[in-house]
Amino acid sequence: MFVFVRFVCIPSNKRPKFNGDPSSIPISATLVATDTRFKAGLRTLEVSGSKHVSYPSLMAMGIYRQGSLSGGELGREIPSAVRGTDQKNENPLALGTNPSFLACHIALPLTQVLQLCGIQAIIDQVGTSSKVHLIDIHIRSGVQWTALIQALSERKSEIELLKITAFATSLDIQKVGETGKRLECFAKTLSLPFVFKILVLSDITEVKEEQFDVQDGEAVAVYCQVILRTMISRPQSFENLMRAIRKINPLVIVVAEVEANHNSTSFVNRFTEALFFYGAFFDCLEACMSRDDVHRGILEGVHFADGMKNIVACEGDERISRSVNINTWRLFFKRFGMVEIELSDSCMYQANLVLQQFSCASSCTLQNNDKCLIIGWKGTPLQSLSTWKFVQE
């Protein structure tokens, strides 16, 4: 049984044939601002100028609110000094608060497909629960959760509480706090009972069961976006985290990761994998972003360059980028007593619907790998989305 939420007005000739109930349309990439509460929410998010607001436009909120990080808003020229050594090398495949990453996120379909599909997977699993507790291991800007907030606010059954617990360290606690304030403000405009909790840790793998603060009656979901790969070189830390998550027994664990094998001990294998992976990603940038785009230049010249160097030239503890493919993740998760959950038809419909919003849709590939979704560019896998749960003894 699939749980759908009314989230978008879809033209009649493009609507899927569900059960005849107009409320059975799944969440999608397009938000139509017809509800006065949602309009108020959009004003709060400082998104204006159009009656019909797209999901990518909503995601751009993070750029406007975080403009001080780059010296301006999206599209404004960034000083050359910032394009150089001042740019922090973060993960360009994840939605951070860095404006260049957000610009990439808006222009490219990859992450948007995975995020909306992942949100639908969470909704499928929490069902009609009145209390939903989402634990985000690495929340970054967190703007994607506005989609979940609206989806739950539109649900017919009463929602008593949505609680989001976000991991943070002393280095990013301020940014995580700002993320929480934005989400709280948005939830308030939609009259959705909402609590945002920051879990401050010296290392995210040191979390204990009691720190999650899971209350009776809460439907728990865990979201891991391009973060678990950073623990591959620290197997004990990875094991500590998974053991803590197992003890709270979430209904679903959503894992979005880079679909590549950058963890080989062989230089030749890593070089070959990096060549095909980044070749596909550069080709995607060429199709989706103009060559004179400032943010594209930063991504290619700073972040991708450092990423390729780390994969190919670094060894031991210096090699941070250690992505593995879904088959390797399956072996990892099996050790912890986890089983893969099949993505629902609504998740797959969601992924295709988001993809069709982009002119480059024909070059993107969506493939099922057993119960997992692989998104690629012209046949080269780039990212994966899989959902899991623990088998309780």
Question: Which pTM does this prediction carry?
Answer: 0.78
How do the pLDDT tens digits run along the chain, 393 residues long?
333 333 343 333 443 443 433 333 344 433 333 344 434 443 333 332 333 333 333 333 332 233 333 333 333 333 343 334 344 444 444 444 578 888 888 899 998 999 999 999 999 999 889 999 999 998 988 888 999 999 999 876 689 999 999 999 888 899 999 999 999 999 999 999 999 999 998 887 788 888 999 999 999 999 999 999 988 888 888 999 999 999 999 999 999 999 999 999 999 999 999 999 999 999 999 999 999 999 999 988 888 888 899 999 988 888 888 899 999 999 999 999 999 999 999 999 989 999 999 999 999 999 999 999 999 999 999 999 999 999 976
Q: pLDDT tens across 37-51, in order?
A: 434 443 333 332 333
Q: Please report the DSSP string for 89-130 in residue order.
A: ---TTS--S-HHHHHHHHH-SHHHHHHHHHHHHHHHHHTT-S
φ, ψ for residue 372, nearest 5 deg = -110, 150
**Alpha carbons 137 and 27: distance in angstroms, whole number:** 23
69-91 per-residue burial string, b: 16 or more CB within 10 A, e: under 16: bbebebeeebeeebbeeebeebb
pLDDT of residue 172: 87
* Paired tokens of 125: 């699993």
- Please name which of 198, 38, 220 lies closest in space to residue 122, comparing C-alpha atoms: 220
Residue ranges per domain, the chain? 12-68+107-261+320-390
- Please name which of 182, 167, 147 lies closest in space to residue 224, comparing C-alpha atoms: 167
pLDDT of residue 48: 28
With respect to CATH, is domain 12-68+107-261+320-390 assigned 3.90.1150.10? no
- Please name which of 265, 239, 252, 241 lies closest in space to residue 322, comparing C-alpha atoms: 265
pLDDT of residue 197: 96
pLDDT of residue 81: 33
Task: Name the pairing type of β-strands 252-258 and 380-390.
Answer: antiparallel
Q: pLDDT tens across 146-195, in order?
A: 999 999 998 766 899 999 999 998 888 999 999 999 999 999 999 999 99
**Alpha carbons 370 and 383: distance in angstroms, whole number:** 15
* Paired tokens of 118: 């992942």
Contact 174, 82 (CB under 8 A): no
Strand partners, 195: 163
- Please name which of 393, 392, 391, 373 lies closest in space to residue 383, comparing C-alpha atoms: 373
